[in-house]
Every structure is written in structure tokens, then in C-alpha cells.
Structure 1
């Protein structure tokens, strides 16, 4: 992959592709959140990782809570099979804080590293703002891990603007900075533009990692064209309001425009929606679409092969404001 398509990740020294691969779906159906996805065969996981790499993605986002470490292991196995082809990639994972205190951070880091089978943790994130400890004490423990060389950079996930400032301030005490906040963000869910999170990210030089960048597949337009598909969705997402007839009707104008732009760029609606995300705020936003089939991985990487014009970015911004949250 040519170096020009990488960008600086927040205020870190990491150079990452604008898209990473979200690896929640590698949970093997285990654990609390693993049930959300069908169980994928090992060779399917390997294909998804390989296609992502070949298409220019150079980082992968996983978490302790995805199958209780299963996703980390499956990702590590796939990378290890790829050998030299995976050289230079970056792994992001997350510590699960719920019902725990910051004292758990040093206690569980070796287990994270064991699950990742030799792959270093370039970004370690606090997965949620809810724990028995303050963000400040969590960041102090994270700083110690950086000093010990167990992780390279510190990020957070689902943190409010106020919590981002608190985390960054605590990290600065050790000469570090907060590098990212992973939050839900897409054309139909732009709440971070209104609640101060995007503003804080730009002010602090923090990268935004957008999860659910296609709003559970709604932005692909496939459910608008064939509502019958909703019956076949596995897991709880089919009950979301966006999938109800009135939800589909509300978002139809945006989907129609994504389809028109897709024709222009020889792309798909999903690719146009992802392209908007990674260009609408300069280089602040990175996105992590998942992929549970090799063709999804193929779809993802093509979203980095073109750039919408500034007029098109503005037009989609206005159109989405009338159909989203």
C-alpha cells in the first residue's frame, strides 16, 4: 500500500489507514456480546483479514469483551498465518471497565498480550466510561503500562467531551496524550457533532474512531430495496427503529442520493457513506466497519479509493440532518 494513503492518528506517531477493520464479529459466538454475530469459520476470518490488508487497511480493532478474548485470538491467528504480509500492521484492543476498578488494568494486561500471541498493542482503550474508578485513575494505570512498554498509546471509547478532557489532563501528567475516542458515528447518527465530542476531539488533536459507520447496514440501502431481508437478520438489531417501515421511509431520501453518487464513483452506497465519514472532518475521523463475509471486506477497502467533492460532502451533511439523529 502506498504510504500516501495513510494519515496521522490523532496526536500519536502512528500512521494509519482511514479505515480499520472492526473485529467484534470474530467472537466465535461466545460471551455476552459474541451472540450478536453468527459464528465465523477460521478460514473465513483469515480471508477477511487478508483482503483487508491487501486493500490497504493497516490496523485492526478488537476488545477483551468480544467473546472474552476470542476475537483477539482469532485476529492474532489470522495475522500469524499471513506472516510477512502482515508486517507493519497495528492492533487496537480494549479493557472492559464495567464492575471493575482501575487496579484491574495492570492485572489483566498480560492476558491481553497472551491472547494476541505476540502482536503488540499499539492502542489500548478504555471500552466504556462506567467503572468503579475515575477516568483519571484509569489513565494513571494506562500511563504505567506505556512506561513498561506493554502498550504504545492510550485511547478511550464512548467517553463524553468532559471525560475526554479529564483523561487527556491525567495523561499529560506523565508526558502522554489521549490519542483517540471510539464512538458511534455515521450519516444517520451525528450526535457527536452536537454534544461536544467532535469539538473536543478537534481541540485536543484526538482521533475519532467511528464504530457502526453504516448504522447496522441501513446505509447500504439493501433493506430499503428489499425490506424482506429484515426478517432474515440474526440477532437483536432487526428490532431497531431504523428497520421499521417508518424508519426506512424517513431515511429514503439520503439512500437515494447515496445511490446516485455511487453510480458516479463506480462504488456502492455503503462506500459513499464510509467515504463521507473519513473526509467530512479533515483527517479527524477514522472508521471501523466490520465484515462477516470476505465480500464485505472487499466492499470496505474500495471506500478508500475515491474522494467525494466538498459540495457532495456538504450536500450529504444537509440531507442526513433531515433523516437522522
Structure 2
């Protein structure tokens, strides 16, 4: 019954922004994307060994999946892996809402199976988890992951899957120098002890930890990013300065260092990329090794920032 082990690269390419409208004030990122640019991203990423692509039915309400499916058409399906999600909040009232949402994703992504299929959030673990089992048996999904679930919910999902001979293969939570709830709740340690991959998203806090923005150079007004992060830029100055100092020592960028930190913590970062030039940065990241002193310094200034970047859709992992 068990599928072959999931092949997880050191970095996963995130396509959340690929579902953006491109109109300021009408999308999270306020970015305008061109198909040609995204095709260059795919080409360079696959050549570099970054072969897993993360998306979700809810990203742009299917637009991210559709764009990704179109971009990957030119490649053999064995050359890449797809990671997408079932989101309970948009489930239809049908016999098997998980299968219905999955079928939409399969169509948009131009494939007949998904390598890693996630329950996007723990709306009702007992209700949604059983729907995954027939899809695993049919081979429409190869592996199961859960996102934004706490430790108790993860164990509950595993118990349900285990009765049919399956298990959780991956967990995906918000994890960064500014938001370490999963680590403090013992979730990352649990993953390491149980051979479960931990995927970290928002490692760069939507650009706030890239070194490009500060209180003097805030995010352009009109996007959700600006609304959330601009008010906290003053608090992030010490951390961002530390990222830049360490980056200079490693001949890298601040974003590279924040990502390298997440890798050394035993996680697989999901990095949103819309320009092919940034693939070079991710290649560099996989070769960076931070010292214990550097790791501790970054975590110290991350804690001292005293900001809360938890999304409104996320739960505190320390609270059941």
C-alpha cells in the first residue's frame, strides 16, 4: 500500500504569488507576473534540482494551479513533483468534497495524480481525513501532508490514516526567525523523531527579512504586505542588520541567510519565486553553513523584535 518515499529537495518552490491578480489593492502581493518569466523560473529551477512545486486550490481561487500547470506542460511528469492542498473553507456540499476539490486541481495542473496532497488547515480532522484514504488507494494522491495542524491534531490524523495502512509524510507550517511557534511546541522535534518532513512557509515573512525593506524603505502602499509589515519595520532593524552582517561574511544576501537558518533547523523552506534570477540565490543557500554563534545571534534578535506575524488563518501551535 505504501508509496515510495517522497523525494524532498532542500528547497521547495512556492507559487502562492502566482495566483495574485497583479492589481495593487486586489491581491496579497500586488505583483504583475508574465508567463515568459515564470517559464524561465521553471526551467532554471528544474535544472538546479528544485523539482517540487507548492500551490493550493485556494491560491487565487485556482489561478495559481492553472498558471503552474501551463508552465510545467513542457516537462515530463516524472521530472517534477506537485504539492497542492484541500482547503476545508471552500469545500462543496457533495458526497466527497475532498475528491471534488482534488479533481479541480488535477485538471488545472494537467496531471492525473498529486505527489503530496495537504489538508490545508484543521477545520475538522475527524471529518476530512477519512476522505483521503480512497484517493490514496486509487493513486490519485501519493502522499499526505497537513498544514497548520498542532501536535494533537497531527497525531489524530495519523491514527485515522494508520488504520488504513497510511501515514502523514509531511507537515507545513509558518516558521521563520520571527515566528517559531512550531519549534516551541515540540512539533519540529516530533517530525524528526517520526520521519516526517517539516515544510516551512513564510520563512522570509513575505519579503520583510530579505534586507530590501526597512522603516526608511517600506513596502509600497496598497498591498496587504504593506498593511501588515510596515508598522513593524522599526522593530525588525536589529534582526535585519544582523542578517546583512552575516550575509556579507558568507558573500550572500540577507534572504539567503534567513533561508539557510531554516534549513539548518531541520526544515524544508518553501520559497516563493517569480523571477529566474532568484534561483541562483537558492542554489547558493543550499551550500551555506552557519555557525552556532550565527544561529544563536539570529534567534536572539528575532525574539527581541517582539512582533507577531501569525496570519489570521493560523493557530498558535502551543494552544490546543
Using the size of structure 2 for normalisation, the TM-score is: 0.85
Residue 255 of structure 1 corresponds to 240
254 and 227 in structure 1: CA distance in 2 versus 1, 3 angstrom threshold: same
C-alpha distance in 2, partners of 1:202/1:164?
14
For 1:124 and 1:263, the matched residues in 2 are separated by 38
Deviation, structure 1 residue 34: 7.8
SS in 2 for 1:114: helix
Offset, 1:46: 1.0
1:108 paired residue number: 101
Mapping 1:11-90, distance limit 5 Å: 13-27=5-19, 29=21, 35-37=27-29, 38-81=31-74, 83=75, 87-90=78-81
1:152 alignment partner, SS class:
strand
Shift, 1:299, TM fit:
2.8
Following superposition of structure 1 onto structure 2, how do residues 127-206 of structure 1 map, counting pairs within 5 Å? 127-130=120-123, 134-206=124-196
1:275 aligns with 2:260: yes
Q: What SS does the aligned partner of 1:288 have?
A: strand
- Segments of 5+ residues of structure 2 without an aligned counterpart are 308-320
Cα distance change, pair 176–323 in 1 and its aligned pair in 2 (3 A)? same
215 and 158 in structure 1: CA distance in 2 versus 1, 3 angstrom threshold: same
Q: Which residue of 2 aligns with 1:237?
A: 225
**Alpha-carbon RMSD:** 2.4
CA distance in 1, matches of 2:222, 2:247: 27
Alignment partners' CA distance in 2, 1:172 and 1:26: 35
CA shift digits 1:155-185 (9 cap, x unpaired): 1111111111111111111111111221111
Q: Does 1:95 align with 2:80?
A: no
Alignment check: 8 A CA contact 1:56 1:301 kept: no
For residue 309 of structure 1, what is the aligned residue in structure 2? 291
Map 1:291-310 onto structure 2 (within 5 A). Answer: 291-310=273-292
The answer for the alignment partner of 2:317 in structure 1 is none
How many matched pairs?
300
Report the CA distance shift for 1:90/1:99 in structure 2 as closer, same or farther (over 3 A): closer
Deviates more, 1:212-221 or 1:297-306: 297-306
Gaps of 5+ in 1: 1-10
Q: What displacement does 1:69 show?
A: 1.9
Contact (CA 8 Å) 2:247, 2:257: kept in 1 or not?
A: yes
| SS of equivalent residue, structure 2 residue 58 | coil
Deviations 1:180-239 (A, max 9, x none): 221111111112222343344334332221111101211112212x72342x25521111
Distance of aligned partners of 1:34 and 1:169 in 2 relative to their CA distance in 1, 3 Å threshold: farther
Tell me, yes or no, if structure 1 residue 211 matches structure 2 residue 207.
no
Q: How far apart are residue 324 of structure 1 and its match? A: 4.5
